[in-house]
Amino acid sequence: MKNLLEYKSLIYELAARDLKIRYRKPFLGFFWMLIMPFSTAFVYKVLFSDFMHVSSGRYPFFIHLISSLLPWSYFATAVQSSSGCILSSKNIINQISFPKYLIPVSMVFANLINFLPTMVVLLGFIVIFHVKISALIIFLPILILIHTCLIIGLSLLVSALQVVYRDVEYIVQIVIMTLFFLTPGVYALEEMISKSSHLVAKIYMLNPLVGFTNLYRIVFIGGYLNGMPKEVNFLNTLIIPVIFSIIALFAGYFIFNKYENRFSDYLNV
């Protein structure tokens, strides 16, 4: 934390550089940070709700979908983009002396800047669809902080491993794609649990991303907590995501430090 505060200006510059590179050429510029996730949500809505008639429980399918898809997009995009950030920053690393973990951290913050406006738009859609806003919305900043800790930890991990093992980015893509279908985004949690055995349901609920999905819906959608299945409890909804985020943060930092001294050997090949 001391280094993060000390190098906050550098983190800002690196994050701003990433955003400028990402949006400087498209005609619509920064509007794409809103267009992309919501256009994806619209496609999923048409496919899964209108054509496949997938149930979303008690709430409109679009609200059910974007309340999960937006946090998921933040997670997936940040981790995937971080996997190659050390390799793509070779020139900066060779020219400037600074803690190298600031590079993946800045990538996460760049994606966080993308993510925050979508939360405001999500609130707008909740109002438009006449869904009650949860009083627990006041805990949204804490939820985003915990979520970001998980993302930073995983980003540190994959960015360091990618320098040494160049197959990591492909493994990350496969894992993230698999995890998407192991979280209740396009389908209702109740439906998944009702069609699974008791053991499978318990294992499924141990997935911290399921917990994060539930938490985002709880803090946004009024009454969502009261209607959750009995398999959902304090442990798998809050404690497991928090513990997993802390473990990921420390493990990512440890692995990054372990491989950091070897970066120059691989970057200069």
Cα–Cα dist 198/208, whole Å? 18
Does residue 23 register a pLDDT over 70?
no
Judged by DSSP in three states, 133 sits in strand
Q: What is the mean pLDDT of residues 167-186?
A: 92
* 40 in a structural domain: no
- Domain annotation covers residue 22: no
pLDDT bin (cut points 50, 70, 90) of residue 7 is low
φ, ψ for residue 221 (rounded to 5)? -100, 120
Q: Is 262 among the domain residues?
A: yes
- What domain range includes position 88? 56-267
Would you give the DSSP letter of residue 50? I
In Å, how far are 98, 127, 150 from 103, measured between CA atoms?
10, 38, 16
Task: State yes or no: pLDDT of 29 exceeds 60.
Answer: no
Provide the residue type at 172 as one letter.
V
Q: How confident is the model at residue 3, as a pLDDT?
A: 64
Give the total number of structural domains in the chain. Answer: 1
- Region 178-198 average pLDDT: 88
Above 90 in pLDDT, residue 55?
no
Contact in structure between 74 and 107 (CB atoms under 8 Å): no
Residue written as token pair 């937006």: 70
The confidence score (pLDDT) of residue 32 equals: 60
Residue 2 lies in a domain: no
Residue 198's pLDDT is 86
9 located within any domain: no
What are the angstrom distances between the C-alpha of 129 and each of 26, 126, 143, 233?
Answer: 31, 5, 24, 28
Sign of CA dihedral 231, 235, 241, 243: negative
Average pLDDT over residues 49-65: 77
Confidence of residue 218 (pLDDT cuts 50, 70, 90): very high
Question: What are the structure tokens assigned to 150, written together?
Answer: 């998980």
Please tell me the distance from the alpha carbon of residue 24 to that of residue 137, in angstroms, as a whole number. 33
Residue 203 has pLDDT above 70, yes or no: yes
The pLDDT of 161-176, averaged and rounded, is 91
Radius of gyration of the chain (CA): 19
In-domain check, residue 260: yes
Model pLDDT, residue 44: 73
Q: From CA 111, how far away is CA 73, in angstroms rounded?
A: 9
Lowest pLDDT segment from 52-61, 113-122, 126-135, 228-237: 52-61
- What is the predicted pLDDT for the residue at 143? 97
Is the per-residue pLDDT at 22 higher than 70? no
211/137 Cα distance (integer angstroms): 16
Q: Is residue 28 part of a domain?
A: no
Q: State residue 2's pLDDT score.
A: 64
- Indicate whether 18 belongs to any domain: no
pLDDT in tens, 147-157: 999 999 999 99
Please state, rounded to an integer, the average pLDDT across all residues of the chain: 85
Confidence of residue 67 (pLDDT cuts 50, 70, 90): very high
Question: CA 110 to CA 130: how far, in whole Å?
Answer: 32
Separation CA 165–CA 38 (nearest Å) = 34
pLDDT band at residue 24, thresholds of 50, 70 and 90?
low
- Predicted local distance difference test score (pLDDT) of residue 133: 93
